[in-house]
Amino acid sequence: MSAITVRPARAGEARLLTDLCLRSKAHWGYDAAFMRQAATGLDVTDDDIAAGEVFVAEDPAGRALGIYALDVDGATVDLDRMFVDPAAIGTGVGRALFAHAVARATTHGCTTMTILADPNAAPFYERMGAVFVRMAPSDTIPGRELPFYHLALRPGESACDE
């Protein structure tokens, strides 16, 4: 896909971005019961947007194609969520979002990015250079374990152990 731009989310986009996250998650064939449980972790709020760490990938027509959010905590940044609209999967939107997230994290002085990944997204994060650390509990669905990754953000350094 050509001409993908990544920009800060704007006030009033919370519902649009939440819907994008829900469509992206549902793309992997999860049933309705699972999606109801997962929905709280996919909700983008006006407060999230106002905090300034939610970003949107869009096409030249201004259509939202993907989203990511960061949660910065000292030297570590958590890729809080990253979702690509199903129609844009495989077009470079994910790579553009991830590259932007890494660049943004380094502007905060972070040295490590952590990622609690959906199993369907794990191969993508590995291609981006993230290193599998362990399985970790889901932050929204009790009893579910997800792949947990670290990415070193400074060349020559390894990601911290957790």
* 127: in domain: yes
* 11: in domain: yes
Segment 12-26 mean pLDDT: 97
Write the pLDDT tens digit of every residue in 34-80.
999 999 889 999 999 999 999 999 999 999 999 999 999 889 999 99
* 52: in domain: yes
- Overall number of domains in the chain: 1
What CATH number should be reported for the domain holding residue 70? Answer: 3.40.630.30
* 69: in domain: yes
* 139: in domain: yes
* 162: in domain: no
Beta strands in 1-130 (DSSP E): 5-8, 54-58, 64-73, 76-84, 112-116
**155: pLDDT confidence band, cut at 50, 70 and 90?**
low
Asked if 22 and 35 count as a contact pair (C-beta separation under 8 A), the reply is yes
What is the overall mean pLDDT for the chain? 93
Query: What percent of the chain has pLDDT above 90?
Result: 88
- For residue 37, give its domain range: 5-152
